[in-house]
Amino acid sequence: MNNFKNVLYLLTFVVVFSYISTPYLINNNQQVAVSNETSYKVVKGDNLWIIGYKLNVDNISKFILRLKK
């Protein structure tokens, strides 16, 4: 019974991890325009933290505050 619980926990972890990490792997090929102004096409599931990460922003907190202004 203990072995069954461990297998169940492992399968649950794999499913949850796959569900969370798949959008990052699929959207990793997003191209970003290089210019004075940067444009980005928002896809379902994006938030400001993810967009900042995809744009290789050094300080994401400042990036978000600047966007909010």
Top pLDDT among 51 and 1 is at 51
pLDDT of amino acid 55 = 84
Average pLDDT estimate for 4-9: 85
pLDDT of amino acid 31 = 58
Whether the per-residue pLDDT at 34 is higher than 60: the answer is no
pLDDT of amino acid 58 = 85
- DSSP string for 11-67: HHHHHHHHHHHHHHHHGGG-----SSS------TT--HHHHHHHTT-S-HHHHHHHH
State pTM to two decimals.
Answer: 0.42
pLDDT of amino acid 5 = 85
pLDDT of amino acid 9 = 84
